Amino acid sequence: MENEKYKDLFNRTAPLDMSAEQFKKLGYSLVDKASEFLSSIRDYPVAVAKDVKELKKMLDSSASLPAEGADIGEVLNLVTGQLLNNSLFNAHPRFWGYISASAAPIGILGDMFAAVINPNVGAYKLSPVATEIETQSVKWIAELISYPSDCGGILVSGGNMANFICYLAARTEMADWNIRQEGLVSDKGKRLLAYASGETHTWLQKAADLFGQGTNSIRWVETDDNQQMDMNNLKKQVREDISSGFKPFMVVGTGGSVSTGAIDPLHEISDFCKENNLWFHVDGAYGGFAAAVPGISKDLTGLSKADSVAVDPHKWLYNPLEVGCALVRDPNHLTDAFSYHPSYYNFDEDQINYFERGMQNSRGFKALKVWLAIKQVGKKGYQKMIQDDIRLAEYLFLDLTNYPNLQRLTNNLSITTFRYLPDDLKDSQSEEKIAKYLNELNQQLLEEIEKSGEIFLSVAMIGDIHALRICIVNFRTSLEDMIALPKIISQMGDGIDSELRTKFLG
Ligand SMILES: Cc1ncc(COP(=O)(O)O)c(C=O)c1O
């Protein structure tokens, strides 16, 4: 052997490695910064309005690939400063946009230690402790929302992926032919159709599109004035499709819609699905965890009857991104839809190997943050935090009646929608020209709010009305913040209205 040629590898040095000393120094400094940030988050603007050009310049985005490494201490200092001074902070007590949670501190630490162990949670053999922790987390999530705890489940990257898993499990189970083998071109199969209300999140279009059904395989069911699925319309469409030779396979009920938090009549959908041999899926990505709080919504309790449920721990379990969770009543339906046994894997098939239950092969340890947070606060802790979020959104809805230039629109779970509506335009609000102006006014108002850095909201369309929307999945928000919100908006609205009115209405 030519030992000489390889001699340097006896004392191999890798540029990515770090001494224990350096790791500690960098690590402690990062933890110090993180803790300083979290404890003074109220002093930060919720969002910083910098334009794209400025950001690219700050980050030197056009620089080419570095050939040599740099002093990583300096790099960390620079990039943490840039992030802390230029980000949108969903951890901020006044962040109420979209559905992004304030992340629990224990989740931050959990993610860090998950990366330390770095298990591949695709197979039991590669991650025995982590697999057990994921399995227990899934079981606790099911228990928390009163779903059967002997269900199958898996953690994924978020709500979309959780819904995809359930969609594929449903399709495999409900097709009259072996869809995994023969695909969608089978001449034995009828066209498979899914039913969902128009309030359903866009995951469904993505699923129908990506998994080859095509978006025309979705039947959009009408909603009533409360944005809930109209059961008569569902029944009519299913009846007509069956008589036209199609194969309805699933109904999607939403347990907290993305726009207004509306909850479909889940018990009735369940009964209908049972009578008609349809798979009943609930998208509880936003609202599912509210089922943990007794008395919040009778409709929502119907999710316990579903064949599958998607929930999103990175929403109302306040876990840092990313983590979603798919639950399937019969655990076999996951392996039926996803399992293979390649010869290059020497895994014990009697153990849980998560690569057989979902789309990913190698998988990270998302479960640690979920498990730790549940351990930290238990069911009672979650019930309290979720209920407090809901109470704050309700408080705002009630308080809005005290503002003559704000019109409240909807309140479900922790979402409240409303808009700026000048008192003198109330009587003419439905005239076409005025309605258009009000939409424009509220759009501009939203943009100003974002720029202000004081609060952060998002948008919802309620019929033709451009509404402002707050969604509180934020355990840092307090009553003081809710009291401040309408005052800020009403004042900003007055300013924008006086600038825009003559330009639009003459
Ligand atoms: C009801 C609903 N379903 C699905 C999703 C998608 O979740 P994610 O963004 O985690 O993929 C969302 C996101 O807001 C949602 O509100």
Would you write out the chain's pLDDT as a tens digit for each of its 506 residues? 668 999 999 999 999 999 999 999 999 999 999 999 999 999 999 998 788 999 999 999 999 999 999 999 999 999 999 999 999 999 999 999 999 999 999 999 999 999 999 999 999 999 999 999 999 999 999 999 999 999 999 999 999 999 999 999 999 999 999 999 999 876 666 789 999 999 999 999 999 999 999 999 999 999 999 999 999 999 999 999 999 999 999 999 999 999 999 999 999 999 999 999 999 999 999 999 999 999 999 999 999 999 999 999 999 999 999 999 999 999 999 999 999 999 999 999 899 999 999 999 999 999 999 999 999 999 999 999 999 999 999 999 999 999 999 999 999 999 999 999 999 999 999 999 999 999 999 999 999 999 999 999 999 999 999 999 999 999 999 999 999 999 999 999 999 999 999 999 98
Q: Residues 170, 248: contact at Cβ < 8 Å?
A: no
330 CA distance to ligand 1 middle (Å): 23
In angstroms, the CA 123 to CA 119 distance is 9
Per-residue pLDDT, 50: 81
- Taking the CA of residue 312 as reference, the ligand 1 atom at the shortest distance is 10
Instruction: Tell the residue nearest (CA) to atom 9 of ligand 1.
Output: 159
Terminal CA-CA length for the chain = 91
Enter the pTM of the model. 0.97
Query: Which of 229, 258, 473 to mutate to test ligand 1, by most ligand atoms within 8 A of the CB atom?
Result: 258
Query: Which of 166, 203, 228 to mutate to test ligand 1, by most ligand atoms within 8 A of the CB atom?
Result: 203
- Taking the CA of residue 314 as reference, the ligand 1 atom at the shortest distance is 10
| Strand order from edge to edge, sheet including 218-221 | 152-156, 324-328, 308-311, 279-284, 247-254, 192-197, 218-221
Per-residue pLDDT, 189: 66
In angstroms, the CA 297 to CA 308 distance is 19
Ligand 1 contacts (CB < 6 A) are 99, 158-160, 163, 201, 203, 254, 257-258, 283, 285-286, 312, 324
Per-residue pLDDT, 185: 74
Residue the block writes with tokens 């943990």 = 292
Per domain, the residue ranges of the chain are 17-92, 119-365, 379-505
Per-residue pLDDT, 440: 97
CATH classification code of 379-505: 3.90.1150.170
CATH classification code of 119-365: 3.40.640.10
137 CA distance to ligand 1 middle (Å): 20
CA-to-CA dists, residue 344 to 200, 332, 336, 340, 363, angstroms: 41, 23, 20, 11, 17
